[in-house]
Amino acid sequence: GLAFHNYYDTFREFPVTAYNPNMDANGRAKLGWRVYLLPYLGYSNLFNQFHLDEAWDSPHNLTLLDKMPEIYRSRGIPVRSHLTGFQLLTGPDAYLYRVGDYGSAHGPSLNYLLDGLESTILTLETLPSQAVEWTRPDGDILFDLAHPLDNIDFTGLENVPADGLLTLMVDGSIRSMKPNISPEDFAALATWQQGEVIDASQKDRVYYDFGGSFSPELNQFSHGSTALRNIGLALHNYYDVFLQFPINNWPNYFDAEGKPKLSWRVHLLPWLGELNLYNQFHLDEPWDSPHNLPLLDKMPEIFLSRGLTGGTNLTGFQVVWSPESYYSSPNNRPTFGRITDGDDLTIGVIETPPELAVSWTKPEDFPFNPADPFSEIRALVSDYIAVMFMSASVRAVNPQIAPADAAAMITWRGGEISN
């Protein structure tokens, strides 16, 4: 999911974006979206081995078929296979490929999506019986609105994994879809422009895991890593809409001194499934105005950081706020264009210990101390600092990191090489 959104941040559309001579006679890319996604999955070297102007089964490209990355191996597929069950639902009513001007091929953009990011399927994990060669461009499921489930092989419910079929939604969340889903419910999730409203009861019918947070990414080291991962995806989804990270530089969002009236955490709420709470805020008023202050005690669980207990209105999830790092004002837009040090090497959000937590709606974050950025945290934490980089990847950083290395990761345009 993150790779799809990083691709989108580059091309302003989902894969595949291709131009002649990398297209076939039908106006489609000669290689599949999984190949074009490789650089955003950490496989640039493998991507560079492909001849994009040759068919997937050309003598050269066919030799790369057995180099399928492990990330594409879906459940039930043996190790060292070149088959994958991760497929798109393609067609006029679903994931629509377009032929553009001057001999170009394009994937869909978010402007095409009318049904909601969190309620539209991006990728589906199919059973091994429908697995395809991972590099082929036609290796996806053709979706037919008149017969939504006809091209999905359930082969009897006993063959479907007990925890359902994994589905990646456009917002980056992962759900487990029940195998007894009705054609009508499946169509509502597969289509992009039908305008259906997916309510809570419908989600409860089709998902095993509705009501929980996004699926954890391997549960790497704590709730904090999962929360940061989801905050990162939300930041990228926000960026896809506004072409900048929050806070959008509309004058009404800032006071007379150019300081934000509400935290970036409030502005991120719609992309964290908290649209109703977001709509309760008066965005043109300070965080502690008579109207906004009562909302302080409605902090979503995703902002509950390590060491804090439920019911608090404090969070340790903070950006490192300074003109040299993450910074928003009426005259400054935090964008990918400002990150010249590399988004995978540049810190976005950190998890601070409870002693340094802040009120979640207050526009207050961790200040940048260039001489020793993590000195305050180091005095309180001995094991690790959970850190989200601007690529939305999450890692554990040693609190004893050298100050110069920490500063290199925090600054956006310092020109340093992080170790």
Region of poorest pLDDT, from 138-142, 171-175, 305-309:
171-175
Give dist(CA 366, CA 381) in Å, integer: 15
Residue 208 — very low, low, confident or very high, per pLDDT cuts 50/70/90?
low
pLDDT at site 218 = 30
pLDDT tens sequence across 148-161: 888 877 554 345 56
Judged against a pLDDT cut of 60, whether residue 209 lies above it is answered with: no
Judged against a pLDDT cut of 60, whether residue 241 lies above it is answered with: yes
The top-scoring range by mean pLDDT among 95-109, 207-221, 346-360, 399-413 is 346-360
- Termini Cα distance of the chain: 27
* Average pLDDT score over the chain: 86
The pTM score is 0.63
Of 143 and 199, more confident: 143
* pLDDT (mean) for 48-53: 96
Judged against a pLDDT cut of 80, whether residue 198 lies above it is answered with: no
Of 417 and 351, more confident: 351
Domain ranges of the chain: 2-206, 223-410
- Residue 111: CB partners within 8 Å, gap ≥ 6? none
| Tokens linked to 347 | 């810190």
* pLDDT (mean) for 348-359: 96
Judged against a pLDDT cut of 50, whether residue 213 lies above it is answered with: no
Judged against a pLDDT cut of 70, whether residue 266 lies above it is answered with: yes
* pLDDT (mean) for 167-186: 84
In percent, the amount of the chain with pLDDT more than 70 equals: 89
- Residue 212: CB partners within 8 Å, gap ≥ 6? none
DSSP secondary structure letters along 183-237: HHHHHHHH-SSS-----HHHHHHHBSSTTS-SPPSTT-S-HHHHHHHHHHHHHHH
Burial class (CB within 10 angstroms; exposed 0-12, middle 13-18, buried 19+) of 232: buried
* pLDDT (mean) for 250-255: 93
pLDDT tens sequence across 82-136: 999 999 999 999 998 888 776 788 999 888 888 778 788 999 988 888 899 999 9
